[in-house]
Amino acid sequence: MSLNNSPAWKRLTRLAAPSIETRLPEWLTTTDRFERFSFRVGHLLVDLSKQRINQEILDTLFELTAERDIQARINDLFSGSPVNFTEGRPALHAALRAPRSDRPARVAQDIEETTHRILGFADAVRSGGWCGHSGKTLTNIVHIGIGGSHLGPELAVQALQSAASPRLTINFVANVDDGVLQNAVAGLDPDRTLFVIASKSFTTLETRLNAERARSWFLERVNVSEAMARHFVAVTANVEAAAEFGIPATNVYPLRDWVGGRYSVWSAVGLPVALAVGGQGFSELLAGAQTVDAHFASAPAPENVPLLLALAGIWNNNFLGVANHVILPYSDRLKLLPSFLQQLEMESNGKHVNHAGDDVGVHTAPIIWGGEGTNGQHAFHQLLHQGTRSFTADFVLIANSQAAGTDHDRWLLANGIAQSQAMMSGQTDPDPHREVTGEHATTTIVMDSLTPHSLGALLAIYEHKVFCQGVIWDINSFDQYGVELGKRLARPIFDQLAGRPALGQDASTRGLIESIRKGEPND
480 part of the interface to ligand F6P, by CB under 6 A: yes
- Residue 113 annotated in active site: no
Number of residues engaging ligand F6P in binding (CB under 6 A): 14
146 part of the interface to ligand F6P, by CB under 6 A: yes
- Residue 378 annotated in active site: yes
By the 8 A CB rule, do 288 and 124 touch?
no
Dmax over CA atoms of the chain, in Å, equals 75
CA torsion 267-401-313-346 (nearest 10°) is -40
> In this structure, how many other beta carbons lie within 10 angstroms of the beta carbon of residue 479?
17
CB of 349 to ligand F6P, least distance (A): 13
Q: Which is nearer to ligand F6P, 242 or 396 (CB)?
A: 242
149 part of the interface to ligand F6P, by CB under 6 A: yes
Cα distances from 459 to residues 262, 340, 502, in angstroms, run: 11, 9, 45
Cβ-proximal residues to 226 (8 Å cutoff; 6+ apart), any chain:
133
Residues numbered 308 to 347 that lie near ligand F6P (CB under 6 A) are 347
Q: Which is nearer to ligand F6P, 197 or 289 (CB)?
A: 197
Listed residue (190, 441, 163) closest to 321, CA to CA: 441
Cα distances from 198 to residues 114, 121, 255, 392, 443, in angstroms, run: 15, 15, 9, 34, 34
Part in contact with ligand F6P (CB under 6 A); list of ranges 14-22, 198-206, 272-280, 399-407: 198-206
CB of 450 to ligand F6P, least distance (A): 25
Which one among 17, 224, 404, 483 touches ligand F6P, defined by CB under 6 A? 483
Q: What is the 3-state secondary structure (H, E, C) of 30-79?
A: CCCHHHHHEEEECCEEEECCCCCCCHHHHHHHHHHHHHCCHHHHHHHHHH
Q: Which is nearer to ligand F6P, 99 or 482 (CB)?
A: 482
Q: Which is nearer to ligand F6P, 93 or 262 (CB)?
A: 262
By the 8 A CB rule, do 118 and 253 touch?
yes
Part in contact with ligand F6P (CB under 6 A); list of ranges 81-89, 104-112, 197-205, 278-286: 197-205
By the 8 A CB rule, do 38 and 47 touch?
yes
Cα distances from 242 to residues 198, 203, 267, 482, in angstroms, run: 10, 10, 18, 26
Which one among 42, 80, 153, 261 touches ligand F6P, defined by CB under 6 A? 261
Part in contact with ligand F6P (CB under 6 A); list of ranges 133-141, 196-204, 302-310, 326-334: 196-204
Q: Which is nearer to ligand F6P, 103 or 200 (CB)?
A: 200
Of 10, 116, 352, 487, the active-site residue reads 487
CB of 462 to ligand F6P, least distance (A): 16
199 part of the interface to ligand F6P, by CB under 6 A: yes
- In total, the chain counts a number of residues equal to 523
Cβ-proximal residues to 187 (8 Å cutoff; 6+ apart), any chain:
none
Residues numbered 51 to 90 that lie near ligand F6P (CB under 6 A) are none
377 part of the interface to ligand F6P, by CB under 6 A: no
Of 21, 26, 378, 520, the active-site residue reads 378
> In this structure, how many other beta carbons lie within 10 angstroms of the beta carbon of residue 448?
15
Of 347, 351, 372, 463, the active-site residue reads 347
147 part of the interface to ligand F6P, by CB under 6 A: yes
Q: Which is nearer to ligand F6P, 139 or 480 (CB)?
A: 480
Which one among 204, 291, 364, 444 touches ligand F6P, defined by CB under 6 A? 204
Q: Which is nearer to ligand F6P, 147 or 470 (CB)?
A: 147
Which one among 52, 89, 262, 440 touches ligand F6P, defined by CB under 6 A? 262
Which one among 71, 81, 169, 201 touches ligand F6P, defined by CB under 6 A? 201
SS3 333: helix
CB of 353 to ligand F6P, least distance (A): 18
CB of 259 to ligand F6P, least distance (A): 10
By the 8 A CB rule, do 130 and 119 touch?
no
Cα–Cα distance between 162 and 343 in angstroms, integer? 26
> What is the dihedral sign for C-alpha 83, 89, 93, 95?
positive
> What is the dihedral sign for C-alpha 399, 401, 406, 407?
negative
Listed residue (195, 216, 199) closest to 208, CA to CA: 199
- Residue 487 annotated in active site: yes
CB of 262 to ligand F6P, least distance (A): 6
Part in contact with ligand F6P (CB under 6 A); list of ranges 65-73, 146-154, 459-467, 515-523: 146-154
Q: Is residue 374 reached through a cis peptide bond, with omega within 30 degrees of 0 on the bond before it?
A: yes
CB of 215 to ligand F6P, least distance (A): 17
Cα–Cα distance between 61 and 56 in angstroms, integer? 9
148 part of the interface to ligand F6P, by CB under 6 A: yes
Q: Which is nearer to ligand F6P, 114 or 139 (CB)?
A: 114
> In this structure, how many other beta carbons lie within 10 angstroms of the beta carbon of residue 506?
9
276 part of the interface to ligand F6P, by CB under 6 A: no
207 part of the interface to ligand F6P, by CB under 6 A: yes
Kindly list the catalytic residues: 347, 378, 487
Point out which residues bind ligand F6P (CB under 6 A).
Answer: 146-149, 199-201, 204, 207, 261-262, 347, 480, 483
